[in-house]
Structure 1
Amino acid sequence: MAIEDKVRSPCVSICALDERDVCIGCQRTSDEILHWSSMNNCERKAVLVKVAEREQEIAL
């Protein structure tokens, strides 16, 4: 069985937290950013789902 490639970080090098403690560049919380490197792919994918939800909130 092939080893699954690691899910890549959504970082876009615009690193600044807003008043909700969410990065304005990648839409991850500071906690999600801090723990990203120790997350497995399943956890990373779950974060990316939350990122997509946050992006939708901004678009509204």
Structure 2
Amino acid sequence: MRAGDGDATSEVLTFSGPPIRQPVAMGGPMVMNTRAEIDQAFRDFHTSRFGTVPRQARLQHR
């Protein structure tokens, strides 16, 4: 694997585990079981129910 700039060291993080055998819905950085749960998570995020989130970690949701 090569880094985009050719000089910097790259780190790759992988995860694995047994199948959860449940539906998966994804939206931006959120992963839940249904689209309704994703929507609720974004509402919670935007109303600060996740607690304090550093400004640099905030993503724009489209």
TM-score normalised per structure 1: 0.31
Structure showing greater radius of gyration is 2
Higher relative contact order (CA 8 A, sep 6+): 1
Greater helix share, 1 or 2? 1
